[in-house]
Chain A
Amino acid sequence: MRKPKLAVWKFSSCDGCQLSLLDCEDELLAVAGAVDIAYFLEATRARLRGPYDLSLVEGSITTPEEAERIRKVRSQSRFLVTIGACATSGGIQALRNFADVDAFARAVYAHPEYLDTLATATAIQDHVPVDFELRGCPVNKHQLLEVVNATLNGRRPNIPDHSQCVECKRHGTVCVLVAHGTPCLGPVTQAGCGNLCPACSRGCYGCFGPKEAPNTAALSAKLGAEGLGGRAIGHLYSTFNANAPAFREESQKHE
């Protein structure tokens, strides 16, 4: 039986999500035995030609070249799965979408004329059809393995889409928002990290982006009642998933 071909592609990102694949130390050799790693520049010089059975895509689209390249990747891929907040919502660099990108360029570079960049950082699904989106900044490596396994075996990945609050209840973590008044995005954020921040007595800061149909207005009202100012509430929604529609719309109410 032919081994499925796996490819890993990078766009504008920090490399942390593809690193999560290399961080599966216990499973790496088994995964490498089960698939042909056809293209994964962070790990290997070897490059096999497409088409690919599964392409994992990290990063957002921020340049004209990337907008063109993602279409080529899509045409070469049977399944295309996006991994991480950059690929699923544009990432932290999508903060440029709400600013004057030329001013950003002038602030950082002596010669903005050398730059060839788009005014926005956008999710992969804004450019090509995507078969599955895996959330997280970074992705959870166990979820990543589940998605690879499910996709290559022709089943739907078992990735929960409930809120972070469900995780806290499951872990028996005391609610940091109710008990301590700590600002927390848990009620409106999709679970997936494994209850990390509240377990450190910290509020969730939304790595996994909005859950389905989040009640952001109710959360913002609660945050306001706890004494958080409008600017701070806006900033809370506009970090690693700033361009996810539910977070974008809510943060703009608190400009």
Chain B
Amino acid sequence: MSERSGTRTIKVDALARVEGEGALYLRVKDGAIRDLKFRIFEPPRFFEALLAGRGYAEAPDITARICGICPVAYILSSSHAMEQALGIRVTGPLRDLRRLLYCGEWIESHVLHAAMLHAPDFLGLDDALQIAERDPQLVRTALRLKKLGNEILEVVGGRAVHPVNTRVGGFYRAPGRARVRALASELEWALEASTTLLRAFAGFDFPDYTHDYTCVSLRHPDEYAITEGRLVSNRGMDIAIDTFLDHFGEEHVAHSNALHGYLGAGEPYLVGPIARYNNNFDQLTPLAQGAAREAGLGPVVNNPYQSLLVRLVETLYACEEALRLVRAYEEPDASCVEAAPRAGVGHGCTEAPRGICYHRYALDETGHILEARIIPPTSQNQKQIEDDLRGVVAQNLALPDEQLKLRCEQTIRNYDPCISCATHFLELTVDRE
């Protein structure tokens, strides 16, 4: 922190309570923002390059290692892309099982973020352990709920972080009926628990900031989209995922570490819980819609801080959906759809907890990868995060530095940025003029 004649410089050198590493640099002169940079400084890991030459079947397990918090997003986006390239489709009970697995990831990731990483911002605390000192029951409920998400991942996927039971075409082994059905009683408790958390957090003081976002998400005709659908926006876009690269771009900018996603002529857009909720509110269950209304949310949310509540609405929905799938589960006849290697191109796009995660692969005739392209949600949100920060800072210049810094951190955490996920990273030097 430095105070010089009319110039304030605020730096958050290592942002806490995000997955990965990010930083923010802000320079204000004479009451105006002169410079604002949200930086991500994860070193590059070159996933797209190291996939070249590997077999198609290896992509799900390798790309899972992009992110330990949302491996299922990578596993399923890449599996779908490979299935399209190989000309097979996973339908019926196996598709249901994948949706159940994904619900597990939404529950663990959303609860981790909402209760343990984001909520402390609204209480003026450092972390969830300090919340536990005030309200141990609330934190125990959150931990039990998060554990349930992990349990679904273990029962269906074989492991909570980097599941081992998934493969291109489905699963290595279909989980036993008794084990899956045994999840039901805890899921019944979870409906109550997620509602309790939502009620507790609905009373937070949400900073007064709204923005008319361009919301981009999947949409599916029959369900609240998680694993598949068309790409839609609240501005009327409605495209097949295969045309993703015709509509969206990524730019490599010197001042930031992840490639920045943009739409059309370079405008920022929003992916993740608020985007999904705004586009697909009509497809949430009556229970989830009612809980949202009770928490004070309308069918469209324009206050980014309320993403905290939207995450819990989605958690409630994921618990309900998981319960439905668990109760209906019968062991499928085959655990996977077999495929023969062939040349082809495939696209996959699923809703990671943080937003759409897009993969494209080109395969040669032996099924080895010629080219890989991965566009994770956090790269896509980067431009929007910076945009929000500009708006929030401009509105709050009167705040003392420490409070402004906290507000900026809270704003970044609205996005649950999974910084390991933004696969394109660079460590860089900032020019300070």
Q: Interface on A for B, CB 8 Å cutoff?
A: 10, 12-17, 19-20, 22-23, 25-26, 28-29, 32, 37, 41-46, 62-63, 65-66, 91-93, 95-96, 99, 101, 103-105, 107-111, 114-117, 121, 137-138, 193, 196-197, 199-202, 205, 207, 232, 235, 239-240
Contact = CB atoms under 8 A, between A and B. Distances in A.
Contact of B65 (A19, A29, A92, A109): A92
A22 B112 contact: yes
Interface string B111-133: 01000110010000011110010
A232 B55 contact: yes
Given A116-B428, A235-B58, A103 B49 contact: yes
22 contacts: A12-B45, A15-B19, A19-B69, A25-B146, A28-B143, A41-B14, A43-B16, A43-B17, A45-B120, A63-B427, A65-B427, A91-B65, A92-B45, A103-B49, A108-B46, A109-B426, A114-B426, A116-B427, A193-B159, A197-B172, A202-B167, A235-B58
Q: Shortest 5 CB-CB distances between A and B: which pairs?
A: A16-B68, A44-B127, A104-B49, A110-B252, A25-B147
Contacts of B42: 12
Contacts of A107: 46, 48-49, 52
B172 A137 contact: no
B164 A201 contact: no
A115 to B, nearest CB: 5
A202 B49 contact: no
Contact of A14 (B21, B48, B67, B143): B67
A93 B50 contact: yes
Interface of B: 14-21, 42-50, 52, 54-55, 58, 61-62, 65-69, 71, 112, 116-117, 120, 126-129, 132, 136, 139-140, 143-144, 146-147, 150, 158-162, 164-165, 167, 171-173, 251-252, 254, 259, 409, 418, 420, 424, 426-429
Given A96-B50, A193-B159, A235-B55, 11 more contacts: A19-B161, A23-B146, A28-B143, A32-B129, A45-B16, A92-B45, A92-B50, A96-B49, A109-B252, A114-B426, A202-B172
A108 B48 contact: yes
A43 B49 contact: no
B164 A200 contact: yes
A240 B63 CA distance: 11
A20 B147 CA distance: 11
Interface centre among B43, B160, B424 (most CB of A within 10 A): B43
B45 A62 contact: yes
Contacts of A235: 54-55, 58
Contacts of B171: 200
A121 B55 CA distance: 22
Contacts of A13: 68, 420
Nearest to B132: A29
Contacts of B127: 37, 43-46
Nearest to A113: B254
Contacts of B18: 42
Given A105-B44, A200-B172, A14 B116 contact: no
B71 A23 contact: no
Contacts of B15: 41
A32 B127 CA distance: 11
A92 B62 contact: yes
B49 A201 contact: no
A20 B68 CA distance: 9
B45 A93 contact: yes
B13 to A, nearest CB: 11
A104 B47 CA distance: 9
Given A45-B17, A116-B427, A23 B158 contact: no
Contacts of B259: 109
Contacts of B173: 200-202
Contacts of A65: 427
A108 B162 contact: no
A20 B69 CA distance: 10
A43 B61 contact: no
A25 B54 contact: no
Contacts of B409: 45
Nearest to B136: A29
A111 B252 CA distance: 7
Contact of A16 (B14, B132, B162, B427): B162
Given A14-B420, A25-B144, A205-B61, A197 B164 contact: yes
